[in-house]
Structure 1
Amino acid sequence: MRFDAVPMPPAVAARPRDPRGYPVPAITPWHDGQPQFALTDYGRSADCARGRLCSVCDVLIPRGPVWRVVGATESAAIAAARAAGRPYRNMAPTPEGPGHRACMLYAAMVCPYLARPNARRGTDARAPDAMTAHVVRGAVRGDSGAVVGYGDYEFAVTPTQVLFRFLDVVEFLPHDTGDAHLAELRAELDRG
């Protein structure tokens, strides 16, 4: 599905766009006037964490659940825990911040890397460390992904990165391709 055919949350529609028309997430750094998709701006990510702002649209996330898009490994771990009737808590920190439900459904559909299992990363992580060593050009997303709702999140702002942990899965929406979320995104936007 073409990104411009996906219904856009109003706060995302207000974001700056790249030359192709893609909205640029709040945590995306810019270099020479161009967004650097797949990289995270430390300062913006810290601001979003501290202010409980959506990492996609930069608007306040109300108290209550937060969402994020997860890749194949975490999606499989959540599915296995749920199938076994066990709670799931990601104890490993991630640099990926939370957002609104509509924003994360939208991101799962329009971000080429998140939307398709055969998608490959176009950019290496800048200054990779143990947490981002897997973020290399050409890496494949994997068989599945999911939009996951969590009861809340914790964060730490270190001198070099912002780290998140997500608590208490409250919603699990797996997908092979992001367009599986189209009906859910439309319903979420209708709820306003």
Structure 2
Amino acid sequence: MAHLAVDSRGYPVIATVERSPQEVNFGSINERRKLALAAFDWCAVCGLPFADELRWQTVFQEGPLPNGVISGEAPVHEVCALYAAQVCPYLFSPNSRLGDEARKGTVRDPVVRFVGFESTSAVTAHESGLQPGTYTLHFEHRGQADEFSYRTPEEIRERFADVLVREKDLPVSDAEGVLVRLFNRLDDEDEGDVVTGAALAAGAAFAKDIFKVQGLGAFEGKQYPVVAGLLLKGTEQEIREFSAGSRDEAYSVIGPWVLERAGSFPVPLQRWRTRGESMVRRPAPRPPEGPGRNVAKNAPCPCGSGRKARRCHPSGISAN
């Protein structure tokens, strides 16, 4: 967590919370930041990629779990879950209570259960049952592979020590490194919003109801779907020219990131981009060549078959 900014007390400012240089609210989850976590497949505590590691979630039910488990919280690395269990007041003590307005007075379960999943299969916008009109992002996980439970943090310290010994540096490309740095800084201007914009451009703008999500209404109408369309269907040259010409630091690297991740996007982002395929207009094809266009009907067909154009491609051949 050495890359994270720290608050006035010296605590690392975890990736998912509201922040500014003046104040950090560890009790508030920021939906705009959750969108970036979902799009780039980053941990909600350290803000770094998962690579091939399990995605860990707190689970508030006993016994066997269904194949797909949905949570309103973004997943974390195992080492980050174990860290949070020892420093988060709510996860630390069996008698702790939540203090935010929506969940005020909620008491922590006597036993905290963390479950590790193989993949995040989808991220969708859900309307709150308690607050109609309020949408939040929910993460669906599949492939339960491991878990641990505890009553007090003392019970997990041995596991934490073992995981720390096995901890390795995570692979981060130059482009992604810039996004990580921008996302985890304390800044008066954007609170990570510049990276939220980059996530929308990478394809999150195609997610259903995305601009209804709490805090994302401010992004609606700012041409993010247009930029996302360019990054979805533009040529490599067009994408590189877009990023090279941008004054926005996150936009300047989102093009290279999309190009380097082509074919291996995080699953939720790939699903959004697939949805975008039907939403983005393809460039109009150039007029076909052939009889009645600019090729005489008795001339050799442009396809190179050696046959006459009127016999081979009577409707013409697209120049594309």
Q: Same fold (TM over 0.5)?
A: yes
Note if 1:95 corresponds to 2:95.
no
Note if 1:176 corresponds to 2:151.
yes
* Equivalence for 1:137: 104
Task: Give the superposition deviation at 1:67.
Answer: 1.1
Note if 1:106 corresponds to 2:83.
yes
Find the aligned partners of 1:64 and 1:23 in 2 and give their Cα distance: 22
SS in 2 for 1:22: coil
Identity of aligned residues (%): 28
Instruction: State TM-score, norm by structure 1.
Output: 0.74
Letter in 2 for 1:189: L
Deviations 1:1-25 (A, max 9, x none): xxxxxxxxxxx24322223322221
* Equivalence for 1:155: 122
Letter in 2 for 1:146: R
Letter in 2 for 1:107: A
Letter in 1 for 2:125: T
Find the aligned partners of 1:60 and 1:40 in 2 and give their Cα distance: 19
* Equivalence for 2:29: 40
Find the aligned partners of 2:115 and 2:70 in 1 and give their Cα distance: 16
- Structure number with the higher helix fraction is 2
Task: Give the superposition deviation at 1:95.
Answer: 1.5
Task: Give the superposition deviation at 1:31.
Answer: 5.6
Find the aligned partners of 2:151 and 2:163 in 1 and give their Cα distance: 20
* Equivalence for 1:29: 18
Deviations 1:117-154 (A, max 9, x none): 101112224xxxxxxxxxx2221112110222111123
Structure 1 residue runs without a partner (length 5+): 1-11, 82-87, 126-135
Describe the shift of the 1:25–1:40 C-alpha distance in structure 2 as closer, same or farther (beyond 3 A).
same
Letter in 2 for 1:165: E
Find the aligned partners of 2:116 and 2:54 in 1 and give their Cα distance: 6
Describe the shift of the 1:34–1:64 C-alpha distance in structure 2 as closer, same or farther (beyond 3 A).
same
Describe the shift of the 1:138–1:19 C-alpha distance in structure 2 as closer, same or farther (beyond 3 A).
farther
Deviations 1:147-177 (A, max 9, x none): 2211112332439321112212211111001
Describe the shift of the 1:102–1:15 C-alpha distance in structure 2 as closer, same or farther (beyond 3 A).
same
Describe the shift of the 1:30–1:187 C-alpha distance in structure 2 as closer, same or farther (beyond 3 A).
same
Letter in 1 for 2:32: G
Superposed CA RMSD: 2.1
Kindly indicate whether the alpha-carbon contact (under 8 Å) linking 1:155 and 1:162 is maintained by their aligned counterparts in 2. no
Task: Give the superposition deviation at 1:57.
Answer: 0.5
Q: Structure 1 stretch 159-168 or stretch 116-125: which is displaced more?
A: 159-168
Aligned pair count?
159
SS in 2 for 1:62: coil
Find the aligned partners of 1:175 and 1:158 in 2 and give their Cα distance: 31
Letter in 1 for 2:38: A
Task: Give the superposition deviation at 1:32.
Answer: 7.3
Letter in 2 for 1:183: E
Instruction: State TM-score, norm by structure 2.
Output: 0.46
Task: Give the superposition deviation at 1:89.
Answer: 2.5
Deviations 1:27-84 (A, max 9, x none): 10126731122221111101111111011011011134211233xx32xx2xx22xxx
SS in 2 for 1:36: strand
Structure 2 residue runs without a partner (length 5+): 127-134, 168-320
Describe the shift of the 1:168–1:183 C-alpha distance in structure 2 as closer, same or farther (beyond 3 A).
same
Note if 1:65 corresponds to 2:36.
no
Find the aligned partners of 1:175 and 1:105 in 2 and give their Cα distance: 10
